[in-house]
Chain A
Amino acid sequence: MKNPLSQQILFLKVKNQDPEAYGQFYDLYVKRIYRFIYFKVNSVSDSQDITSEVFLKLWQYLREGKEIKNLNAFIYIVARNLVVDFYRQRRQEALSINADKAPEIIDGRSDILKEQMVDSDLQATIKGMDRLKDEYKEAIILKYFDELSISEIAEILNKSKGAVRVLLHRSLKALKDNINE
């Protein structure tokens, strides 16, 4: 983006249902939304399907004239809800990936070796992330991967800013503990 105002203009165009602008919006957000979903569902094909659905769903909301104050936060809310739906459909517990799923997760990460990611620190970080509670994962992704503000994270997670700060602190601590185990 050229500058924050250009981004605001892009959002405005998106809200006014300009398809070309929506294409640019997709380019801007697709990687981070995919990543947000991927850490929740741990499957490439499911992440792809849900990511596609997020962008289509958001477009439908725009077409219906739904009031969207903060597009930057709203798209994560849509993604979050669709992941919940995804788990509900599969009759699994929403938002929680417990230790029982570790083999699946590790299997899902087998491409680590394919990508020759020999750095053991990185492998440990990924495994540490996998073992985190879902809300910790979300907080870390939103804050440290996507660099969202505390107030945006609060809006997405439907928590107060203070609660988000506490959550971030606990998330990092839990991740460190996981890595050091």
Chain B
Amino acid sequence: MNKDLIKNLKRISEFEAGGRPQEDWLISNRDILMSQIRPATDQRETEYQSAERNYYWQYVNNLFQQRLMRPALAVVVLFGLTLGYNATVSVANSSLEGDILYPVKTAQERVQLALTFSQEREAKLHIDFAERRLDELNRLSQQTGDSQKKVKKITKTAANLSKEVSSVKDKLNQISIASVDTALLIAKEIDSTTLDLEQKITEVKDSLSEEVKSQVGDTLVQAISTTKDTGSSALGVMVDKYTKGEAGISDQEIITRLTERIKSAEEDLAKASWEVNQAVDAATSTLSLMDATAKASSTLSLTLVSTSTIENISLLPQQAKNTLEQAKSLLVQGELASALAKVVESKEIVLGATSGAQALVNDLQNVDLSGNVRGTSTSSQLETGTMSTSSESTSPIVGQ
């Protein structure tokens, strides 16, 4: 009887007659309350932050009692005994993937996120963490020694960088639904940060040896692509707010930011064009050196490396260029949303061109050229000339 009664008591609270308040009143009352309490409290921020820190460490202690955190705790204790706590945390902050103190660093980050209640702060934390992963990538790329270990560390760090950037995008989406002012501020920060991240990840990729690059290239390209995607989303939020006439962004600012995106897209296009040209040249010359019999017995994929395929790939950079020209023209006409859509479209085409070039190069590498053409008058030229051309052309492409 008591059980049923208690169950009924809980059920009646789902009805207004059982004390459920009206939803619209809940919201309007909250707005009124917040407007009443907000103004006089800004000066309390420092005191609140200091109190939060105390609880932060309490939370860390709790986490360390959990199974997953025990390795991190063991490391903290070990280093703490010898170096002291502050020194341990400081060393952990400068650690890299694979280092003994790295789990402490990532645990600390998870704790920070767990203690954050505001979406805005969470977004900012993910931005910070993405920048940390970039710094780690940079330092890992300069390491010497066992290249296989280096590959593993870079792959893992780049994947984590992608995750952080994806989280930034997720948070932005949530914020953009919830709050106009905050969404715009965060979008601006994300737009600037992602442009910087894109450029620096590319620099890291370019600085790697061919051996390492061929193994980590895909993960780095994925990180760049995720970063571009997040940047476009941020700019999308800004364009949306601007076109709706909301305050917080000027004509000049939105135009400048779109122009920067177009400029970045043009730089990508220039690089992709060079890669496509190299791949197309190599494929064309290889095809021209193979007679019909050689082609038939080749492991080269005839469906892929046909004249028409090569032609299609070679046309992509021009197509991307035309799309970017349209974006510029739309920007001049004040069609900002359409201009941004064209920038995104051009990026997709550039991505397709780069992938196509990569596929061509991969197939060229699989061709058993010696079996097909050895013994012909051009064999020596092919083995020295074409292969080297192919190698030169692949070098910047592998890992794209």
* Chain A positions near chain B (C-beta within 8 angstroms): 2, 5-6, 8-10, 12-13, 16-24, 26-27, 30-31, 34-36, 38-39, 44, 47-48, 51-52, 55-56, 59, 63, 108-109, 111-112, 115, 117, 119, 121-122, 125-126, 129, 140, 144-145, 172, 175-176, 179
Contacts and interface: CB of A to CB of B under 8 A. Distances in A.
Interface residues of B, number: 45
Closest 9 CB pairs of A and B: A35-B19, A16-B48, A38-B19, A34-B21, A125-B8, A112-B17, A109-B17, A9-B55, A17-B44
B85 to A, nearest CB: 21
Given A16-B47, A126-B12, A175 B5 contact: yes
B18 A2 contact: no
How would you classify the secondary structure of chain A's contact residues: helix, strand, loop or mixed? helix
A21 B34 contact: no
B41 A19 contact: yes
A51 B114 contact: no
A176 B5 contact: yes
Contact of A126 (B18, B26, B34, B37): B18
Interface string B13-43: 1011111111001100110111011101100
B247 interface: no
Nearest to B42: A19
A30 B5 contact: no
A140 B48 contact: no
B52 interface: yes
Contacts of A27: 30
Given A39-B19, A125-B5, 4 more contacts: A9-B55, A13-B52, A56-B36, A172-B5
Nearest to A35: B19
A40 to B, nearest CB: 10
Contacts of A16: 44, 47-48, 51
B25 A48 contact: yes
A52 B33 contact: yes
Given A144-B10, A145-B9, A19 B30 contact: no
B9 A30 contact: no
Given A55-B33, A59-B37, A35 B5 contact: no
A102 to B, nearest CB: 15
Nearest to B2: A172
Nearest to B29: A52
How would you classify the secondary structure of chain B's contact residues: helix, strand, loop or mixed? helix
Contact of A144 (B6, B21, B32): B6
Contacts of B47: 16
Given A6-B114, A109-B17, A144-B9, A13 B48 contact: yes
B21 A51 contact: yes
22 contacts: A5-B55, A5-B62, A6-B114, A6-B117, A9-B115, A17-B41, A18-B48, A19-B38, A20-B117, A56-B33, A59-B37, A115-B17, A119-B11, A121-B8, A125-B12, A126-B18, A129-B9, A144-B6, A145-B13, A175-B5, A176-B1, A179-B5
Given A13-B52, A51-B21, A111-B16, A20 B2 contact: no
Contacts of B52: 9, 12-13
A51 B29 contact: yes
B192 interface: no
Contacts of A5: 55, 58-59, 62
Contact of A122 (B11, B38, B41, B118): B11
A27 B40 CA distance: 21
